[in-house]
């Protein structure tokens, strides 16, 4: 099917329902995250839930890296709150910075998971980089117009994704 390079390995309601301890037991040692609408609403600072998640990662010994197409002031401020390395203006879906994120974390493709809320940037890039991609539903419906337009196209791809999963 033409859309398969956009299909996530999993599609979940929220980043906060991912069983991270299970993934750690399976050998995952690094998690790469989009920020906006994946961890917090668009342009929001880190909330207690996000900070608690990253504390849990640090306690488990799991590495993290934030991978955002946003500008440095936004990404750096969030990264400081959750104590994570980051890459801003990442150029997703280009694979270059997915590889760089793994380099920063010291992980391989097999040890890394990517979590994001957009198919055509987040998931497509992770798939092309060979990283296990988890798509989460956007936290907040208020989005910039270019993202709103992409969501219509995503709906088409997700329709076929769901159909294939239900076979």
Collapsed DSSP state (helix, strand, coil) of residue 65:
strand
Kindly report the CA angle at 57 between 34 and 37, in degrees rounded to 5?
A: 25
Q: What is the pLDDT of residues 13-55, one digit of tens each?
A: 999 999 999 999 999 999 999 999 999 998 999 999 999 999 9
pLDDT in the model for residue 145 = 65
Give pLDDT, residue 147. 72
Mean pLDDT of 76-80: 98
How many whole angstroms separate alpha carbon 82 and alpha carbon 86?
11
Integer Cα distance of 134 and 68 in angstroms: 16
What integer pLDDT is reported at residue 19 of this predicted model? 97
pLDDT in tens, 96-150: 999 999 999 999 999 999 999 999 999 999 999 999 999 999 997 766 667 777 7
> What does the alpha-carbon distance between residue 21 and residue 126 come to, in Å, rounded to a whole number?
21
Dihedral angle computed from the Cα positions of residues 87, 93, 96 and 101, in that order, rounded to the nearest 10 degrees: 40
pLDDT of 154 strictly over 90: no
């Amino acid at each position: 099917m033409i859309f398969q390079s956009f299909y996530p390995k999993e599609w979940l309601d929220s980043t906060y329902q991912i069983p991270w301890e299970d993934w750690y037991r399976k050998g995952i040692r690094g998690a790469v995250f989009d920020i906006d609408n994946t961890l917090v609403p668009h342009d929001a600072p880190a909330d207690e839930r996000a900070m608690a998640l990253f504390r849990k990662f640090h306690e488990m010994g799991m590495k993290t890296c934030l991978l955002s197409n946003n500008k440095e002031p936004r990404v750096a401020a969030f990264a400081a709150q959750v104590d994570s390395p980051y890459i801003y203006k990442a150029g997703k879906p280009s694979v270059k910075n997915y590889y760089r994120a793994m380099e920063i974390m010291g992980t391989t493709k097999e040890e890394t998971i990517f979590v994001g809320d957009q198919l055509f940037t987040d998931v497509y890039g992770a798939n092309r980089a060979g990283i296990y991609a988890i798509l989460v539903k956007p936290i907040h419906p208020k989005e910039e117009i270019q993202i709103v337009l992409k969501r219509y196209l995503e709906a088409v791809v997700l329709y076929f994704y769901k159909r294939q999963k239900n076979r």
